[in-house]
Structure formats: C-alpha cells, structure tokens
C-alpha cells in the first residue's frame, strides 16, 4: 500500500520531524517499507497561466497559437491540446522549466515560435492523462507557482502488503497516521464527519439483508449533485496512491477507502433505490463496471435491487448502475462482509480488487457508519448544492464481542527480558487507542479498540507485541539464558546419515545430489522405467510430476543421464524420502532411502559390481556396523538386470537390494554403458540392533594347517561354500578361510580352502587330524563336491 505523507499530515502534525527517520521508525515498529518516492521534486518553473487568446496555426490542423498571461508577462505558446479556450487557467512551463527529465526551451512548431508549454497531467506527474492540458480552478492566481496551487510535492512510501495481512486497520491513511502518532508521541487529530442529526426525519431506504455473510450494511442517499470531477488535489492523492480519478462520486468512495480502509460503493440513485443482500440461488452472468461479463456462481453474495444484482458484494459493482456524467443522485454503500466469503469469491472469479483485498483482512464493522458520514461530509464540502435525501439505514447483524485483556507488568518484563516502565506501557497502549480500564498495582486491564479486535489482537502476547514494537526492538539488550545446560547427544539417525555420506563422498568419490520427492514421469518414460507409486499429489506443478516416489533410483538415473556427457565414470548418491506403502489409517509410511548408482561408459560388469560390493562391505563393516548378507534373487522390477540382482540383509533383516540396471535402460542412457547400484531402506538401519561382539578364546596349543582343493560346480556361490566349510561337526576348534579361487575352463571353479585346527585342552594327535580331514571331505561329498585330484 502506498502512503502519502501529505495525507498523513491531515491527521498528525509532522512539523520538525525528519521524514526519512520517520519512515525508518515505521519499518522497525509497524511494517516493512519497500520504497520511497519523492513526488514533484523534479518539477520547477511551472506557474499558473491564463489563456488570453486562441488562434489557429496555419499549416496545422491540431495546433493552436495561444497568448498566455503569467502575470509578469504574456507569452506566445503553441499548443496541441484540444481543450484550449480563452479564460482557461492551466499550468505553464516557462522556458528553463524542468518537467521530470525534460527541460523546456524555446521551440518552433509548424514554423511558429513557442515560449513555453501548457502542461497535461502526465507532464507534471499528477496523472497519466495526456488527452489535454490541466484545467485549474478559477481561484488559482495567475503567475502563482503551480506547487502552491496543487499538492504536486509529496513523499510517498510503499508498504509491503504482506506485512499488513493481519492489520485490517492499516489499510487506510488514518490507521497509518495513528501508528505514526504513537511512534512520534504526537496527537492523532479526529476525523471530520457529517453530523448524524442531519439525517433525521428523512425518507427510509428499503434495505433487506438476507445473507449471513453480510455483517453490516449501512446506506444513505444524496441528491442534487452537479459536480462531475473531483478536486485536482484529491485526484493527485488518488493517483499518488496507485488509483486514478474517474468521476466525483466514485473518486470519493476510493478516497475514503484509502483514508479509512473501508471500501464503499456509489450507485446511481435513480437506478438503485432499494437494496437487497443475498447469496445467489443460481448461477448468473453479470457485467461488472469494468465492462467484463462474469459468471457468478450459486452461493456468491450479491447486492441487488428489485431482485436484479447490481454488485458482487465486497468485490465490484455492476456496469448498469455505475455513476455516469448524468448522475445527480447517489445511493451510498458502506458495508462489512465476511472475509472468507469475499476471498473465496474473488479467487473463484479471478477478480481481486482493492475492495476485496481489504475485506479479506477482516475489517472492523464499526467503520461502515463513520465512512458513510465522512462520504457525505466530503460530497457536501465540494458540491454546495448536494443534499442528504434519506436516513441512514443500517443493518448490523454481526457485532464482534468487546475484547478486554488483563496483563501483569511482571509478565511483560519476563516475556521481553528487560524492564519497561509502567508509564511507558500505559502511554504506548493508550496512544494506540487501547483503553485502560484499571491498574491494580501492576495488573492492568485494557479494552481493545474495535478496529484491532476482529482477529488481530487476542491475548496477552499481542499486548506485549504492541508495547515492544513501539518501545523499539532495538532497545532490547540481548541476554543469555540462566538455564543449566545439559550435554546433548546427537541422534544416531543423524550421525549415521552423515557418516555414510562422508564415506561415499570422501572414500568412494561419489557425488551427492538432491532430487524431488515426486517422479519425473517424462524421464521415466524416456528410460523405460515403471517404478511403483502408492500416492499422488492432487495439485502438482504438472501431471508428470505428481507421483510420489517409492524408490530413489529413478531420480538418480535422471542424474546419471544428465551428467554422463561430462564423465566416463562417476557415481552419485542421495539419502532422500520415499513412500513405499500406506499405513492402515491411510497415512503415508515415509522412509529415508539411500540410493547409490555408478556409471561406467564402457561396460565392465565384474569391475563395476565389485566396486559396488566394496562400497557395501565398507559401509556395513565400518559405518553401519551390521552383518551384511546378500541373497541372489530375481528382481521384481523390470528395469533391473535379471542376472545380477541380490537382496541386502542387515543382521538378517531385508533392507534393500543390489542391482545392475537392465541393458534396455542402460542403452537408452548411453549405448553400451553400465549402471550398477544399490538402494537401502535407511530408516530401518537404526532400528536393527547390533549384534554383540565378544572376544574368542585363543588356544595356546600348536595349530595344524590343512589345505583342501575342491572342484566347485557352477551353481554354487562363495557364501554357500564357506557355509559348508564352516559347518563341520567336530570337538576341535578351527578357522577356515579361502586362499584362492580359480576359474576352470569347463565353467567350474577351484577353491583352495585353508583350515587351521587346534584344541583348547590338548595337543592334537594324528588321529584327530585324520578324523577332521575326513569330516571336511565328507561334508563336501554330501553336496556332490569333490576334491581336485
């Protein structure tokens, strides 16, 4: 919202106050100021001129030759404006005048010399009108500096609207002036309004409010209005604050909206004589005064007369009943509507107006009558013939309860952390029009003013805010706490995540990336991925980004695809959230997933997969510290390679899988490349309890070493063989390890197993060794595995 300092000065004396300092104070104590404009600063040497004669310029259809009296001189001026006429007073820029970036010099137009320029509104910055020259009031004195006649000079600052969302009282200058009065310690002047007595004994207006969403509707009529244009100074204020002059009666509604924050509407009094407020029972087409046909929906609240809608409540009036140049009587609307109703209607119509954005903030219904009285006062002030032609008709259906808050000084001091004097507390709140009901030795009760009681102020904490912001947050000294500090241990969920990330990046040269929680369906389609998703977002940025992922691998494949051209070999990882299932109550079961992918431009299955295994071994042995087991299985996902796919078990619990990406997908990424990786349900890891580690007794007696060389058929995995090798029934103590694997030409493998055998209590005999040897061979024989001969 834009605020004019000239306007504020109507209500607070700002003499002797530096405006920049004031605006800074405002930012620090009320709401954020986004910018300051210095209006009229770059306008100079413009005076009131009176046109004495008008002649046509030969060779020109448009131009006129004027003689303009500027008091000290009569100037010859060439002017193209259509509204030139003898006797018109208008701003005249003399030679040497500055109009913004333009400097006026002697000029020759159509061969005729011109010694200055008559100005349009846009040229002196008071409007965007370029249709003609400014028509000044006859009261302007010839030769007078234009800045003495018009309020061209002003300082306008813009407040960030977002910082006013909770302050319905700050959507007009009067409310801002109240804050400024409080910040500067000056008095807020009362608003000048029409005396209610002047409405006595007039006709009633037929007013029927049938919608619950209309909290209050206040209306009155005036007639015999002859003035068509609002005073220039009023138009300038409207323009400086982001609106524009339309006509006298409409301008005053806007003027009061900017002054009090109360939106108003002026209906042509000859067309709208009675008022009905109701929610539509059927959909309806309606033409608003901007000339656009709009589709109103059942339930939208409208203002109607004789069952014909004339306005969308709180948003915009209709074209048929708007003020025109023929209007001589007016029916004034000053109403209060439900904020949610106005907001939802405005959003559904795609029509947010100055009025609707104010109603959305929950305006004070007490304002409607004040605004109406102010309206009548202003009309009468600028149009002497205008008369009041009705009573004030006022239906007040929803009154907010009076709000009183008790607060103790102790509480304020404790909450703020410094001491603020009682005098200061009471002064601040009183200056903001909170009424002190009592003060019982440090316990105060305040009545909240109605304009703060619609939603903004609710309790003690709100009063603390009022006190401290005016007192100045800068005046609060930072203070440490007096609490005893206890040592804090970082949760293993978090430390484990960091430890894993550091290992992957530092030890295995992988790059961490972040990706979205939803799939990118386009990428999935391109790469022929069809991952599952158990839930979607109903208002996603696009249909292709609505499915919440159940696995992190497709996101990482996208990363591989987008980075592959920079590297021959690289790896990436992410620990991110996935949803694999819904819980019984329908809520999502969200888990953290660790995904790792390695890309190799040139397929080398053995090397790539062994690198993945190395990573897994390292993580499980040194970081995660759980026992890793891999089970060869068939993948349930079509984009995983059918041959090299394992389930990952941590201490026997299924936590994820190791895989190669299917050649179909790999080839789509890069012909002939390999992509391998694993995915682990990271959330589960911390819930699996670690197995205890204990030291084994070591025998002090001699150890016998035995080597065996077995021929292992194709379908055996290492872990099967080592399982057999360990599963020897004996009373002796032994250790077994694999010395060597050799690939035979026929597809079988030769394993050299190394046993170290001992006993805890006696020296081994040859017989012991012999028995042990036989047990091993028999164990393998049971599984059709023979010694190499």
Partner 1 sequence: MEKLDNILLNAKNEIDNANEKQSLNNVYQKYLGKDGIVTQELKHMKELSQDEKKTFGMEINRIKNEIFMLIKNREKDFERLKIEKQIESTQFVDLTVPSRERRGSLHPITILQEKLIDIFLSMGFTVEDGNEIETEYNNFEAVNIPKNHPARDMQDTFYLENGQVLKTHTSAAQNRIMRKYGAPLKAIFPGRCFRNEELDASHENTFFQIEGMMIDKDVSVANLIYFMKEMLTNVFGKEINVRLRPGFFPFVEPGFELDISCPYCDGKGCKVCKHSGWIELCPCGMIHPNVLKMGGIDPEKYQGFAFGLGFSRLAMMNYDITEIRLLNSGNIKALSQAKIK
Q: Interface mask (CB under 8 A) for partner 1, residues 421-460, using x and -?
A: --------------------------------------xx
* Residue 398 binds partner 1 (CB under 8 A): no
* Residue 787 binds partner 1 (CB under 8 A): no
Instruction: Please say which residue, 135 or 413, places its beta carbon nearer to partner 1.
Output: 413
Q: How far is the CB of 227 from partner 1 (least distance, A)?
A: 39
* Residue 270 binds partner 1 (CB under 8 A): no
- For tokens 């205890």, name the residue: 692
Q: How far is the CB of 300 from partner 1 (least distance, A)?
A: 17
Q: How far is the CB of 190 from partner 1 (least distance, A)?
A: 27
# residues contacting partner 1 (CB under 8 A) = 87
Give the E-state strand segments of 32-137 in sequence order. Answer: 33-39, 43-56, 64-69, 74-79, 89-99, 102-103, 107-109, 112-114, 116-118
Q: How far is the CB of 559 from partner 1 (least distance, A)?
A: 4
- Residues belonging to the chain: 789
Q: How far is the CB of 261 from partner 1 (least distance, A)?
A: 17
* Residue 746 binds partner 1 (CB under 8 A): no
Element (H, E) at 721: helix 718-726
Three-class SS state of 667: helix
* Residue 522 binds partner 1 (CB under 8 A): no
Q: Give dist(CA 575, CA 594) in Å, integer.
A: 4
Residues 328-347 that bind partner 1 (CB under 8 A): 340, 343, 347
* Residue 510 binds partner 1 (CB under 8 A): yes
Among 370, 407, 548, 676, binds partner 1 (CB under 8 A): 548
Q: How far is the CB of 344 from partner 1 (least distance, A)?
A: 9
Stretch touching partner 1 by CB under 8 A, among 52-60, 243-251, 512-520, 673-681: 512-520
Among 102, 582, 701, 739, binds partner 1 (CB under 8 A): 582
| Longest alpha-carbon distance in the chain | 140
Instruction: Please say which residue, 415 or 649, places its beta carbon nearer to partner 1.
Output: 415
Q: How far is the CB of 518 from partner 1 (least distance, A)?
A: 9
Among 382, 396, 400, 508, binds partner 1 (CB under 8 A): 508
Instruction: Please say which residue, 412 or 725, places its beta carbon nearer to partner 1.
Output: 412
Stretch touching partner 1 by CB under 8 A, among 284-292, 424-432, 530-538, 728-736: 530-538
Stretch touching partner 1 by CB under 8 A, among 46-54, 87-95, 288-296, 411-419: 411-419
Residues 17-46 that bind partner 1 (CB under 8 A): 27-32
Q: Are 46 and 148 in contact (CB under 8 A)?
A: no
Q: Interface mask (CB under 8 A) for partner 1, residues 474-493, using x and -?
A: x-xxxxxxxx-xxxx-xx-x
Residues 164-193 that bind partner 1 (CB under 8 A): 165-167
Among 572, 665, 674, 681, binds partner 1 (CB under 8 A): 572
Q: Compute the CA torsion angle 194, 199, 200, 206 (nearest 10 deg).
A: -150
On the 0-12 / 13-18 / 19+ scale of CB atoms within 10 A, 227 is middle
Residues 642-701 that bind partner 1 (CB under 8 A): none
Instruction: Please say which residue, 437 or 541, places its beta carbon nearer to partner 1.
Output: 541
Q: Are 547 and 530 in contact (CB under 8 A)?
A: no
Burial 309-331 (b: 16+ CB within 10 A, else e): bbbbbbbbbbeebbbeeebebbb
Instruction: Please say which residue, 518 or 640, places its beta carbon nearer to partner 1.
Output: 518
Instruction: Please say which residue, 570 or 620, places its beta carbon nearer to partner 1.
Output: 570
Among 588, 637, 668, 777, binds partner 1 (CB under 8 A): 588
Stretch touching partner 1 by CB under 8 A, among 191-199, 209-217, 238-246, 473-481: 473-481
Residue 598 is encoded by which pair of tokens?
């390695």
Among 368, 515, 551, 674, binds partner 1 (CB under 8 A): 515
Instruction: Please say which residue, 196 or 512, places its beta carbon nearer to partner 1.
Output: 512
Instruction: Please say which residue, 473 or 622, places its beta carbon nearer to partner 1.
Output: 473
Residues 116-175 that bind partner 1 (CB under 8 A): 163, 165-167
Stretch touching partner 1 by CB under 8 A, among 63-71, 273-281, 551-559, 776-784: 551-559
Q: Are 535 and 548 in contact (CB under 8 A)?
A: yes
Burial 347-368 (b: 16+ CB within 10 A, else e): eebebebbbbbbbbbbbbbbbb
CA 788 and chain centroid, separation: 74
* Residue 387 binds partner 1 (CB under 8 A): no
Q: Give dist(CA 178, CA 171) in Å, integer.
A: 12
* Residue 464 binds partner 1 (CB under 8 A): yes
In order of 269, 292, 424, 618, 773, the CA distances from 14 in angstroms are 40, 44, 22, 73, 107
* Residue 501 binds partner 1 (CB under 8 A): yes
Residues 589-618 that bind partner 1 (CB under 8 A): 590
Residues 46-75 that bind partner 1 (CB under 8 A): none
Residue 403: count other Cβ atoms within 10 Å of its Cβ: 17
DSSP codes joined into one string, 274-308: SEEEEE-SS-EEEEBTTS-EEEE-TT-EEEEETTE
* Residue 536 binds partner 1 (CB under 8 A): yes
Strands 214-223 and 393-396: antiparallel
Q: How far is the CB of 169 from partner 1 (least distance, A)?
A: 13
SS (H, E, C) 166-180: CCHHHCCHHHHHHHH
Residue 533: count other Cβ atoms within 10 Å of its Cβ: 19
CA 645 and chain centroid, separation: 45
Among 10, 406, 462, 720, binds partner 1 (CB under 8 A): 462
In order of 247, 317, 374, 501, the CA distances from 215 in angstroms are 29, 19, 20, 59
Angle separating helix axes 173-184 and 422-431, nearest 10 degrees: 160
Strands 207-209 and 275-279: parallel
């Amino acid at each position: 919202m834009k605020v004019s300092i000239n306007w504020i000065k109507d209500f607070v004396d700002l003499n002797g106050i530096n405006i920049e300092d004031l605006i800074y104070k405002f930012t620090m104590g009320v709401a954020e100021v986004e910018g300051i404009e210095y209006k009229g600063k770059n306008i100079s040497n413009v005076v009131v001129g009176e046109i004495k004669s008008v002649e046509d310029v030969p060779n020109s259809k448009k131009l006129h030759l004027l003689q303009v009296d500027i008091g000290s001189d009569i100037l010859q001026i060439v002017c193209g404006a259509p509204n030139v006429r003898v006797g018109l007073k208008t701003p005249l820029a003399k030679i040497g005048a500055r109009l913004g970036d333009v400097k006026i010099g002697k000029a020759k137009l159509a061969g005729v010399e011109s010694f200055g320029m008559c100005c349009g509104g846009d040229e002196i910055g008071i409007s965007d009108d370029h249709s003609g020259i400014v028509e000044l009031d006859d009261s302007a004195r010839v030769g007078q500096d234009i800045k003495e006649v018009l309020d061209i000079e002003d300082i306008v600052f813009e407040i960030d609207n977002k910082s006013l969302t909770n302050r319905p009282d700050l959507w007009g200058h009067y409310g801002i002036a109240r804050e400024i009065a409080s910040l500067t310690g000056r008095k807020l002047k009362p608003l000048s309004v029409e005396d209610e007595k002047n409405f006595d004994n007039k006709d009633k207006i037929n007013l029927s409010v049938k919608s619950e969403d209309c909290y209050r509707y206040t209306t009155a009529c005036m007639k015999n209005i002859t003035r068509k244009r609002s005073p220039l100074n009023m138009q300038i204020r409207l323009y400086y604050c982001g609106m524009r002059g339309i006509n006298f009666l409409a301008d005053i509604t806007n003027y009061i909206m900017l002054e009090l924050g109360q939106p108003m509407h002026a209906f042509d009094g000859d067309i709208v004589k009675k008022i009905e407020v109701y929610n539509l029972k059927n959909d309806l087409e309606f033409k608003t005064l901007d000339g656009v046909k709009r589709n109103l929906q059942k339930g939208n609240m409208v203002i109607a007369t004789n069952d014909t809608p004339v306005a969308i409540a709180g948003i915009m009036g209709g074209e048929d009943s708007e003020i025109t140049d023929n209007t001589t009587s007016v029916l004034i609307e000053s109403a209060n509507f439900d904020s949610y109703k106005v907001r939802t209607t405005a959003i559904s119509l795609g029509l947010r107006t100055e009025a609707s954005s104010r109603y959305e903030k929950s305006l004070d219904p007490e304002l409607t009558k004040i605004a109406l009285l102010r309206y009548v006062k202003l009309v009468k002030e600028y149009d002497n013939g205008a008369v009041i032609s009705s009573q004030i008709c006022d239906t007040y259906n929803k009154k907010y309860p009076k709000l009183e808050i008790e607060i103790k000084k102790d509480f304020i001091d404790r909450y703020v952390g410094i001491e603020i004097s009682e005098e200061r507390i009471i002064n601040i709140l009183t200056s903001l029009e909170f009424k002190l009901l009592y003060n019982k030795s440090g316990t105060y009760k305040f009545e909240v003013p109605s304009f703060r009681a619609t939603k903004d102020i609710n309790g003690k904490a709100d009063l603390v805010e009022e006190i401290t912001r005016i007192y100045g947050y800068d005046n609060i000294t930072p203070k440490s706490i007096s609490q005893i500090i206890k040592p804090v241990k970082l949760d293993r969920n978090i430390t484990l995540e960091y430890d894993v990330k550091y290992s992957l990046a530092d030890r295995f040269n992988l790059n961490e990336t972040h990706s979205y929680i939803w799939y990118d369906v386009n990428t999935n389609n391109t790469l022929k991925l069809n991952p599952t998703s158990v839930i979607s977002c109903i208002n996603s940025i696009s249909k292709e980004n609505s499915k919440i992922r159940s696995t992190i691998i497709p996101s990482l494949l996208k990363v591989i695809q987008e980075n592959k051209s920079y590297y021959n070999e690289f790896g990436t990882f992410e620990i991110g959230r996935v949803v694999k299932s819904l819980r019984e109550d329908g809520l999502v079961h969200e888990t953290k997933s660790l995904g790792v992918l390695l890309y190799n431009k040139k397929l080398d299955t053995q090397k790539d997969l062994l690198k993945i295994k190395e990573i897994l071994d390292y993580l499980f042995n040194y970081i995660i510290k759980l026992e890793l087991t891999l089970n060869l299985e068939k993948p349930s996902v079509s984009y995983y390679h059918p041959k090299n796919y394992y389930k990952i078990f941590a201490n026997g619990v299924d936590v994820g899988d190791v895989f190669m990406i299917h050649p179909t997908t790999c080839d789509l990424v890069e012909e002939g490349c390999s992509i391998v990786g694993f995915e682990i349900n990271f959330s589960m890891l911390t819930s699996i309890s670690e197995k205890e580690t204990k030291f084994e007794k070591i025998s002090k007696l001699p150890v016998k070493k035995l080597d065996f060389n077995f021929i292992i058929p194709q379908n055996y995995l290492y872990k099967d063989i080592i399982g057999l090798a360990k599963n020897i029934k004996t009373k002796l103590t032994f250790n077994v390890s694999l010395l060597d694997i050799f690939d035979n030409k026929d597809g079988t493998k030769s394993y050299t197993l190394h046993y170290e055998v001992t006993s805890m209590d006696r020296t081994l005999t040859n017989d012991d060794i012999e028995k042990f040897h036989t047990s091993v061979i028999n164990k393998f024989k049971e599984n059709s595995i023979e010694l190499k001969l």
